[in-house]
Amino acid sequence: MALSRIFLLATVLIFSASLALAFDPSPLQDFCVADRNSQVFVNGVACKNRTQVTADDFFFTGLDNPGNTTNKLGSFVNLVNVDRLPGLNTNGMSVARIDYAVGGLNPPHTHPRATETLVVLDGSLYVGFVATDNRLYSKVITRGEVFVFPIGLVHFQFNNGTCPAVAIAALNSQNPGTIRVANALFGTKPPISDDILAKALSVDTNITSYIKSQFQ
């Protein structure tokens, strides 16, 4: 089966599963297209006037294009959430395409508001998540295989193969959020004190200062 057909089939199936298990509150009307110009602050996004809604509010194009992986991590995440597809508002779902160079890493991170379902379209990935008892659940997955990362748990994906890899992820929130562990420790503004980091990690403050310099 051609990669394009697998890509389309995987996207449809994973979107359907995400909608069925949506974490966000259920909609109370047919749709609530996000109004990016609204000054109303709500837990989510205010609805656009229905008379102004068009088919384009439910449409996005570009997930068929490979992401640029020429960066330190060797990966690129193209996330389509409510900010980029207003029709997702109140539907409790988003989707992402993730590209990995050989040796590329989607580093340890969490999604505080969503479970993630990942399907590999091409290549091989070593994936895993860490439970609250610090146990690692990991596995190598290849084309056509699926792995689930439970909501809020630290997880990662690493291209352990010999060719670039690509995957599609579905998340059961219109705005899942992403917290990268390393950035949360060493890239905050204002920065976390070196004394705190050094004590937490049982290292010298010179080490924490050096690591911080890599995230400026």
Check the annotation: does 116 bind a ligand. Answer: yes
In angstroms, rounded to a whole number, what is the distance separating the alpha carbons of residues 69 and 66? 9
Check the annotation: does 89 bind a ligand. Answer: no
Check the annotation: does 206 bind a ligand. Answer: no
Check the annotation: does 106 bind a ligand. Answer: yes
Check the annotation: does 111 bind a ligand. Answer: yes
In angstroms, rounded to a whole number, what is the distance separating the alpha carbons of residues 6 and 147? 16
Nearest to 45 by CA among 79, 80, 90: 90
The number of angstroms, rounded, from the C-alpha of 52 to the middle of its chain's C-alpha atoms is 30
**Cβ 113 vs Cβ 82: under 8 Å:** no
> Phi then psi for 165, rounded to 5 degrees?
-125, 155
Binding site residue list: 106, 109, 111, 116, 155
Binding site residue list for Mn(2+): 109, 111, 116, 155
Binding site residue list for oxalate: 106, 111, 116
